[in-house]
């Protein structure tokens, strides 16, 4: 083919060779002039004569060393995308024209992003020269070196780490361009892309979470990578051929303090995308009509503008919504409101996946209340990846504690007696934020030992140099300072068993034994994640104490007592919400135990009428039968003194089993109870046994305890 001039100035800046529209050539061609050979991507334009191929001046004079009207060989070239995708490309940079030289610093990271977008899916060869227009300045680039993308990375596997040099490569969205000054160049460069840095580590699923400050979220991060970013790793044309679309939204939900915001922040850094826009939900709202919707539009304006300019080559724009439930409540749910929330939801829906779709965005929403969010926002195509960021397990707690004690360990301020594994075992149901608080509390305790409190508060410099955070500091903070929000409050059930359990006969031992079996079943059996038992018996027979004892001995991470004394004065709706919250909190733990005490009191049952709260009854019937989420296990222990009433209400059927708690009915049992209580001497107990011989009794253990204490005062 004959060499021709590039028909337009715009095409001369594309680094593409230009042919006539009627020519039948592939997307990439090999251009050979004797021993000199380069591969170019093609564009078509009617201004190029048939049988000719147009080049820009740098391509002809500096790369091919030929003049116009010369002839040379042109052949189709096809890339092996498993071996020729560019991982990194190093090129020398200088001003194209000396008259345009300036001393302004140029950010190579931004240049890298602009270059990859502008020349995406184009062919490059080592030794080739081209012109790059950046910030209205023309730069001359000379390709010095190229390395191939490891094919195992493209398949989502761990890279081998070997660097493969190539002479011809295809630039893709994940390629990295490294800019270096030539010896005579006067360009001032800033940014990380001035030096060689492997981009493959950014897209590898093999992360070092501790360096990123994330602990206990390995699986969640890997799942997000697989769902949301796998399509962005592959070359765009492969995704297009598959008919695939990028994931545009992720919803992170879970208890407070478990790392949702931290994970969203790291996702932005991981992709080396545009600087993420982080927005708190309430900041969107504005008192003026239409301003809230305008705030949503402003967030997407940059992405829209870039997609119009660059199309499929546009970079990724990340928008992070913290507390997204504040602006995306279910439409029509707020009676008497101005409707601002509804229009904000509509605007957000249209921007993420409306008629004019944006394919260069990733919206990350975070909330503690996913149930409040409008369901239209959660469908595929919008916030389709829903990831629960729950409480860390034991291994996760080890990672988090290692992260927060790393500096102390580095500077030898952590005591040798501190066992991170032991702390992880003791901190069941602690969130990541609570574990960080525990470390801070232990540090404060250790520092407080070296403060002299006299007329002034000052540090004892003599002992401060020996400062170390010891195991006792951690344990003291664990017992006194930091309590998990979703953990076990021992004060709740300690008051119910303050006098211990009086084992006055085999019947009590049998109840405790059955309780242990139910605990064991909950822990070990995979087929029955929900186990419920009802302890029924006469008033004052010790049902609540036995329930508290069984729950305490279970040593489950989450133990909560749902008692009527916590709901005095509550309306029916408030009572239902309080009960539901206890169960919702229980579902967040791997192993949970909920004691539903005095069920008839929760139901507001009275025999006169009779009357009871049907709203609370229906709520309990649903919650007692509802199985916990996958991977979670729940033990429910209910207590009642009105078995017949619950039978009529249909509540007995929702419990897995029922255990009868008897009263003391024989003299031998009474004497045994008195001996355990220790309120009477041996002679007095013998006298009581003689007086009760042959008589039948019915006395609750709580009544007996009260009577013995009264007798002791006489």
Give the active site residues: 543-544, 597-598, 625, 702
Nearest to 298 by CA among 316, 279, 273: 279
Half-sphere exposure of 519 (CA within 13 A, CB side): 21
Instruction: Write out the two tokens for 174.
Output: 């994940």
Given a contact cutoff of 8 angstroms between Cβ atoms, the answer to whether 308 and 301 are in contact is no
Question: How many helices, marked H, and strands, marked E, lie in the chain?
Answer: 29, 26
Taking Cα atoms as reference points, which of 37, 234, 250 lies closest to residue 155? 234
**517 CB neighbour count, 10 Å cutoff:** 11
Burial of 475: CB neighbours in 10 Å, binned 0-12, 13-18, 19+:
middle
Give the pair of three-digit tokens for residue 377. Answer: 């926002």
For residue 371, give Cα distances in angstroms to 228, 329, 368, 584, 619: 22, 9, 9, 12, 17
Asked whether the beta carbons of 167 and 79 are under 8 A apart, the reply is no
Query: What does the block give as tokens for 112?
Result: 């890298």
CB atoms inside a 10 Å sphere around CB 420:
17
C-alpha angle 8-11-15 in degrees, rounded to nearest 5: 140
With H, G, I as helix, E, B as strand and everything else as coil, classify residue 603: coil
Measured in residues, the chain has a length of: 714
Distance, in Å, from the CA atom of 231 to the CA atom of 244, rounded to the nearest integer, reads 8
What CA–CA distances, in Å, run from 158 to 147, 199, 204, 451, 461? Answer: 17, 13, 6, 51, 51
> Using omega within 30 degrees of 0 as the cis cutoff, is the peptide bond preceding 610 cis?
yes
Beta bridge partners of 107: 190
| Two structure tokens written together for 571 | 């309306």
Question: 169: helix, coil or strand?
Answer: strand
Q: Distance (Å, rounded) from C-alpha 558 to C-alpha 564?
A: 19
Run of H or E residues at 33: strand 28-33
Contact between 675 and 633 (Cβ < 8 Å): no
- Helix (H) or strand (E) run with residue 471 in it: helix 471-480
Nearest Cα to Cα of residue 170 among 86, 82, 76, 78: 86
Asked if residues 592 and 547 have their Cβ atoms less than 8 Å apart, the reply is no
Vertex 385: Cα angle to 380 and 391 (nearest 5):
150
SS3 (DSSP) at 160? coil
DSSP state of 154: H
The CA distances from residue 62 to 176, 596, 601, in Å, are 24, 83, 91
User: Alpha helix (H) ranges present in 311-353?
Assistant: 340-353
Measuring CA to CA, how many Å separate 299 from each of 278, 284, 304, 324?
10, 10, 10, 14
With H, G, I as helix, E, B as strand and everything else as coil, classify residue 125: strand
């Amino acid at each position: 083919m004959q060499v021709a001039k590039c028909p337009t100035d715009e095409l001369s800046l594309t680094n593409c060779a230009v042919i006539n529209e009627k020519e039948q050539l592939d997307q990439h061609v090999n251009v050979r002039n004797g021993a000199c050979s380069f591969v170019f991507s093609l564009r078509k334009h009617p201004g190029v004569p048939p049988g000719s191929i147009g080049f820009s001046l740098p391509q002809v004079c500096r790369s091919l060393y030929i003049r116009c009207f010369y002839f040379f060989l042109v052949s189709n070239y096809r890339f092996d995308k498993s071996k020729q995708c560019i991982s990194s490309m190093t090129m020398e940079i200088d001003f194209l024209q000396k008259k345009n030289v300036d001393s302004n610093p140029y950010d190579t990271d931004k240049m890298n992003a602009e270059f990859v977008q502008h020349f995406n899916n184009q062919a490059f060869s080592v030794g080739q020269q081209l012109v790059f227009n950046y910030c209205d300045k023309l730069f001359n680039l000379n390709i010095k070196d190229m390395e191939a993308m490891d094919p195992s990375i493209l398949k989502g596997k761990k890279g081998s780490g070997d660097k493969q040099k190539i002479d011809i490569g295809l630039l893709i969205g994940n390629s990295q361009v490294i800019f270096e000054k030539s010896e005579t160049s006067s360009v001032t460069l800033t940014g990380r892309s001035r030096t060689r840095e492997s981009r493959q580590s950014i897209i590898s699923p093999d992360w070092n979470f501790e360096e990123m400050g994330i602990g206990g979220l390995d699986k969640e991060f890997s799942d997000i990578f697989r769902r949301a970013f796998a399509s962005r790793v592959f070359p765009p044309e492969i995704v297009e051929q598959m008919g695939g679309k990028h994931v545009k939204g992720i919803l992170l939900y879970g208890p407070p303090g478990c790392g949702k915001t931290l994970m969203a922040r790291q996702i932005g850094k991981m992709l080396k995308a545009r600087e993420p826009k982080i927005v708190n939900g309430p900041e969107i709202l504005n008192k003026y009509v239409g301003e809230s919707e305008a705030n949503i539009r402003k967030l997407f304006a940059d992405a829209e503008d870039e997609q119009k300019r660059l199309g499929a080559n546009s970079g990724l724009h990340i928008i992070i919504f913290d507390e997204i439930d504040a602006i995306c409540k279910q439409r029509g749910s707020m009676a008497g409101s101005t409707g601002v929330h509804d229009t904000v939801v509509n605007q957000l829906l249209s921007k993420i996946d409306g008629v004019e779709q944006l394919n260069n965005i990733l919206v990350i929403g975070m909330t503690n209340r996913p149930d409040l969010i409008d369901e239209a926002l959660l469908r595929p195509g919008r916030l389709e990846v829903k990831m629960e960021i729950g409480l860390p397990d034991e291994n996760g707690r080890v990672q988090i504690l290692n992260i927060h004690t790393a500096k102390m360990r580095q500077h030898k301020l952590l005591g040798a007696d501190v066992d991170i594994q032991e702390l992880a075992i003791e901190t069941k149901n602690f969130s990541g934020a609570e574990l960080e608080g525990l470390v801070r509390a232990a540090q404060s305790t250790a520092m407080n030992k070296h403060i002299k409190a006299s007329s002034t508060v000052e540090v004892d410099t003599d002992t401060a140099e020996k400062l170390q955070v010891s195991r006792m500091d951690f344990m003291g903070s664990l017992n006194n300072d930091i309590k998990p929000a979703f953990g076990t409050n021992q004060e709740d059930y300690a008051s119910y068993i303050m006098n211990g359990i009086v084992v006055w006969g085999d019947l009590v031992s049998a109840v405790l034994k059955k309780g242990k079996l139910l605990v064991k079943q909950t822990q070990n059996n995979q087929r029955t994640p929900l186990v419920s038992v009802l302890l029924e018996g006469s008033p004052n027979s010790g049902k609540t104490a036995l329930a508290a004892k069984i729950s305490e001995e279970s040593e489950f991470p989450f133990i909560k007592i749902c008692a009527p004394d916590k709901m005095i004065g509550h309306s029916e709706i408030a009572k239902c919400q309080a009960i539901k919250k206890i169960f919702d909190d229980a579902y967040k733990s791997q192993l949970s135990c909920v004691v539903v005490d005095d069920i008839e009191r929760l139901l507001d049952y009275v025999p006169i009428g009779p009357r009871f709260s049907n709203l609370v009854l229906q709520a309990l019937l649903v919650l007692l039968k509802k199985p916990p989420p996958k991977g979670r296990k729940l033990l429910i222990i209910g207590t009642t003194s009105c078995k017949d009433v619950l039978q009529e209400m249909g509540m007995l059927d929702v419990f897995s089993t029922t255990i009868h708690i008897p009263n003391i009915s024989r003299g031998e049992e009474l004497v045994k109870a008195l001996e355990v209580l220790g309120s009477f001497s041996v002679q007095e107990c013998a006298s009581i046994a003689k007086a009760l011989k042959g008589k039948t009794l019915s006395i609750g253990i709580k009544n007996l305890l009260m009577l013995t204490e009264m007798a002791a005062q006489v």
